[in-house]
Amino acid sequence: MSAARTLTFSIFRYDPQTPGDKPKMVSYQLDETPGMTVFIALNRLREEQDSSLQFDFVCRAGICGSCAMVINGLPTLACRTLTSKFEHTTITLMPLPGFELIGDLSVNTGKFMREIAERLKLWLHPSSDDKDIHILEEPMAPEEAARLYELERCVECGVCVSACATKQMRETFVGAVGLMKIARFEFDCRDNRSADDFYHVIGNQDGVFGCMTLLGCQDNCPKDLPHMQQIAYLRRKMTHALAIS
Amino acid sequence: MTINTFVPNPISPRVLGHRRSAIADQLQSATGIMLGCFLLVHLHFESSILLGKDAFYHVVQFLEGGMFSATGHGYPWTSQIISLIMLVVVMVHAGTALRRFPIQLGQWRALRNQQQIIKHSDSRLWFWQLITGFGLFFLAPVHLYDMLTDPSIGPNLSAERVYHGGLWILYIVLLPMVVIHAMLGLYRVLLKWGWINQRTLLRKLTMIAIVYLLMLGLASLAAYLSIGAELSLPVTPYTPS
């Protein structure tokens, strides 16, 4: 059996809360263990070498989306990235660009997601006469439920936002996460909003017509969501809404 | 510890729908497809010089309506009309595509910063589309203006323009720019509207098309330079023997 590799983690360090602190890259060495993920490595570094290291995690299983960061140039989830997949022993970790930096590798994706949800009204809008909560919902066709579930898998990790150069250049652009969630409600038969209603929210330069199809969202989404197809669908749908309005 | 009060924001006027965004997006795509297809045809027509002077003469004669003219040579003003139409299409395309440009220094810095941190091949391809588009903004009108003011096309006349007129300098820069921009643009527009979802195949075809068109264009340019070098001024228009 070959000897365990010694990995070098080059990590972005900066605490905006500390006066006078400057952004820098700091290197740490760690022996690789079988099945080690970047998330495990970061926890070991924090426990064994530097307790001030800041990064986020909750579920450790690719479900919560908290541990998203840029690993060797690719934005992805630390908990789903095995260190063994890297041929070289130096692993560079950067925080996701485009979000408010909390410190080191920790960014405030929650603030962005909440603002997007408020701005795009990302919740179910039932019909106005559907107010009796005691009435059982109409059953949904399994095909429709499966279609919704496919889009519902978004964990709001923020990878699509960081991977999108359009979003980086245009702060007000809603990004793939916003468009994906709109597509989710557009498919939902319980949502009473019309194409015209959605058009008023995303039928503009900050919405679907601002997307330049750079496909960073499609290529980096850790949940493999069909961003390219959904954005194209919304674009056609919004164009059609314009044509008939 | 501070607690932020949750105050839902009303929809800001910024996010309200704008018809012009949709129209601009459609216009950009439509004019881009027109220009991309025109380039494909244009490069093949002008490369007929590789098959000989006669071949190019007959292509020009056909396109300029030789069958309708008494002399059989056609009407050069047809080239002027096409150039004028293409100039308008280019202007509309440039006008609508300008929305995409990082016009502010902060936007440019954000783009470069993101590209340094995140490695993504399609974003890098778009960056080259952006750079070539910026170059074409200046170079394409020069070519079209030249065709508008001097529409004479033919094996000898075109070779004279390229060699003695020194326009090979323009074409050697214009060719890679327009080929890269147009092929990447066609690739992107097909994905953008969801007309094709087989991205890997489409990307391969795009790369093959770029290499093929560059070789075709460079070979044609070499042919015009070669013909031009053999011509003595003033040049006599070529007529098949």
Over the stretch A3-27, which tens digit does the pLDDT of each residue have?
Answer: 789 999 999 999 999 999 999 999 9
Q: For the segment A186-218, what is each residue's pLDDT rounded down to a tens digit?
A: 888 888 888 888 888 888 888 999 999 999 999
What's the pLDDT band for A2 if we cut at 50, 70, 90?
Answer: low
Are A209 and B24 in contact (CB < 8 Å)? Answer: yes
pLDDT computed for residue A196 by the predictor = 82
Please tell me which residue of chain B has the smallest CA distance to A219: B120
Quick check: B6 pLDDT over 50? no
| Nearest of B24, B186, B13, B98 to residue A235 by alpha carbon | B24
- For chain A, which domains are there? 6-106 (3.10.20.30), 109-244 (1.10.1060.10)
pLDDT computed for residue B20 by the predictor = 82
pLDDT computed for residue B130 by the predictor = 95
A-chain residues near B16 (CB < 8 A): 200, 204
Q: For the segment A30-81, what is each residue's pLDDT rounded down to a tens digit?
A: 999 999 999 999 999 999 999 999 999 999 899 999 999 999 999 999 999 9
Q: Looking at the complex, report in whole angstroms how far the Cα of residue B23 sits from the nearest Cα belonging to chain A.
A: 8
Cα–Cα distance, A28 to A23 (Å, whole number):
16
pLDDT computed for residue A130 by the predictor = 63
Taking a C-beta distance cutoff of 8 angstroms, is the pair A148, A187 a contact? Answer: yes
pLDDT computed for residue A245 by the predictor = 65
A-chain residues near B19 (CB < 8 A): 242
E strands, chain A, where? 6-13, 24-31, 68-71, 74-77, 90-94, 101-103, 106-107
Quick check: A128 pLDDT over 80? no
Taking a C-beta distance cutoff of 8 angstroms, is the pair A150, A177 a contact? Answer: no
| Nearest of A162, A63, A149, A77 to residue A112 by alpha carbon | A162
What backbone torsions phi and psi does residue A122 show, to the nearest 5 degrees? -85, 65
3-state secondary structure of B143: helix
Quick check: B16 pLDDT over 50? no
B-chain residues near A233 (CB < 8 A): 194
pLDDT computed for residue A198 by the predictor = 85
Which class in CATH covers the domain with range B20-100+121-230?
mainly alpha
Q: Is B123 on the interface with A (CB under 8 A)?
A: yes
Cα–Cα distance, B234 to B228 (Å, whole number):
12
Cα–Cα distance, B108 to B158 (Å, whole number):
40
| Residue type at position B128 | W
Q: For the segment A79-92, what is each residue's pLDDT rounded down to a tens digit?
A: 999 999 999 999 99
Q: For the segment B50-105, what is each residue's pLDDT rounded down to a tens digit?
A: 999 989 998 988 888 877 777 777 788 888 999 999 999 999 999 999 888 888 89
CB-facing half-sphere around the CA of A93: CA atoms within 13 A:
31
Alpha helices in B150-198 (DSSP H): 155-163, 168-192
Handedness of CA B123, A214, B108, A167 (dihedral sign): negative
Q: For the segment B103-153, what is each residue's pLDDT rounded down to a tens digit?
A: 889 999 999 999 999 999 999 999 999 999 999 999 999 999 998 998 888
Place of tokens 């959904």: A230
pLDDT computed for residue B139 by the predictor = 94
Are B22 and A212 in contact (CB < 8 Å)? Answer: no
